[in-house]
Amino acid sequence: MKHLALLTSGGDAPGMNAAIRAVVRAAHHYGLAVTGVLDGFDGLVEGRTRALGPRDVSNIIQRGGTLLRSARSEAFRTREGRDRAVAHLRAAGIDAVVVIGGNGSQTGAMTLHAESGMAVIGIASTIDNDLAGTDRTIGFDTACNTAMEAIDRLRDTASSHERLFFVEVMGRDAGFIALRTAIAGGAEYAMVPEARQDIDEVVRVLTQGAAGKGSSIVVVAEGDEQGGAFAIAQRVKERAPQFDIRVSVLGHLQRGGSPTVADRVLASRLGVGAVEHLREGRWGGVLGEVSGRLVLTPFAEAITGRKPAEGDLLRILPILAV
């Protein structure tokens, strides 16, 4: 193995730059060349690339976003697009591909691996934390911290005005961000897709809990089956008009910002680990970290496997929120 291609794909996540840096510097350490592919799988289809050496990744470990930019590629969904991508890789003499991204991106990586037979390895990176085979994905911790800080600020104003806030956080179909930030932000309730909760129960909990409380915060996962925070707030208001309700949708704020220590270290370990796995002939899956050890999980399992929700957090939330 002599030459790697590296790309970031899907929703960007804080720590992607730290992972790029780690892959490039590990490759340098082992004497491998690195081609950075711009704009995710779109850049692979179009052949948009730049060579990356150790100095090209200076001063990026602390930066959010991705130096290589990212995209959700339509072109790569077609067989024609994928054939063009493989042709570019072969013409450039590339023998392995590292894909830094989440669920959709690793599906692309799996297809590339299956159709071309090339050495492809994924690095688990998405704020959603919705890949199996890793305790945490790169970006998740930073997104949780960002959401928690926002909730802290909202608590200040909620308390001043004795209001009930519904705060919507990202996470696609998973409630990992919602659950963690609800616990960390001292929320009164969390609505997540992993649990069946109805509006009457929310009203009951808030009404009972409101006794003696100046403010309440409900964290809503964007993927919750009851709808978004605005829809839920409206239905609560119809049942409990006494609440002075406000809604805050945190949105893409959660995707930016300087990565936390946890994300920088995770990205550094996974980046070096990916290069070392490739050198040892281990690929065909997504690299993650489980109980402090690097684990390579076959693509199909990492993508479709259901990582258990942190059910204990859901259980302890009402104990803490009295």
Closest distance of CB 173 from ligand F6P, Å: 8
Give, for 262, the enclosing helix (H) or strand (E). helix 261-279
Cα–Cα–Cα angle for 47, 50, 56, rounded to 5 degrees:
160
**x-or-dash string of contact with ligand F6P, 128-167, rule CB under 6 A:** x---------------------------------------
Of positions 94, 120, 127, 321, contacts ligand F6P by CB under 6 A: 127
Beta carbons within 8 Å of 16's beta carbon, 6+ residues apart: 8, 65, 66, 70, 100, 125, 138, 139, 267
Which entry of 39, 128, 224, 263 is annotated as an active-site residue?
Answer: 128
Cα separations in angstroms, 190 against 42, 159, 166, 218: 37, 18, 10, 6
Residue 297 interacts with ligand F6P (CB under 6 A)?
Answer: no
Of positions 9, 17, 106, 126, contacts ligand F6P by CB under 6 A: 126
Closest distance of CB 127 from ligand F6P, Å: 5
Beta carbons within 8 Å of 293's beta carbon, 6+ residues apart: none
Closest distance of CB 255 from ligand F6P, Å: 5
Please list every residue from 3 through 22 that binds ligand F6P, using CB under 6 A: 11
Of positions 133, 171, 271, 285, contacts ligand F6P by CB under 6 A: 171
Please list every residue from 63 through 102 that binds ligand F6P, using CB under 6 A: 102
Q: How far apart are alpha carbons 151 and 142 in whole angstroms?
A: 14
DSSP classification of residue 59: T
69, 39 contact by CB (below 8 A): yes
Of positions 38, 124, 138, 170, contacts ligand F6P by CB under 6 A: 170
Give, for 253, the enclosing helix (H) or strand (E). none
Of positions 136, 172, 269, 277, contacts ligand F6P by CB under 6 A: 172
* Residue reference for tokens 């809503």: 220
Q: How far apart are alpha carbons 138 and 270 in whole angstroms?
A: 9
Strands (E), the chain: 3-8, 33-37, 49-51, 96-101, 119-124, 164-169, 189-191, 216-221, 245-249, 285-290, 293-298
Closest distance of CB 307 from ligand F6P, Å: 15
By CB under 6 A, which span of 19-27, 169-177, 277-285, 301-309 interacts with ligand F6P?
Answer: 169-177
Residue 312 catalytic?
no
Q: Which is nearer to ligand F6P, 69 or 172 (CB)?
A: 172
Of positions 255, 264, 269, 277, contacts ligand F6P by CB under 6 A: 255
The residue type of 190 is A
Q: Which is nearer to ligand F6P, 166 or 243 (CB)?
A: 166
Q: For binding to ligand F6P (CB under 6 A), which residues are involved?
A: 11, 102, 126-128, 170-172, 222, 255
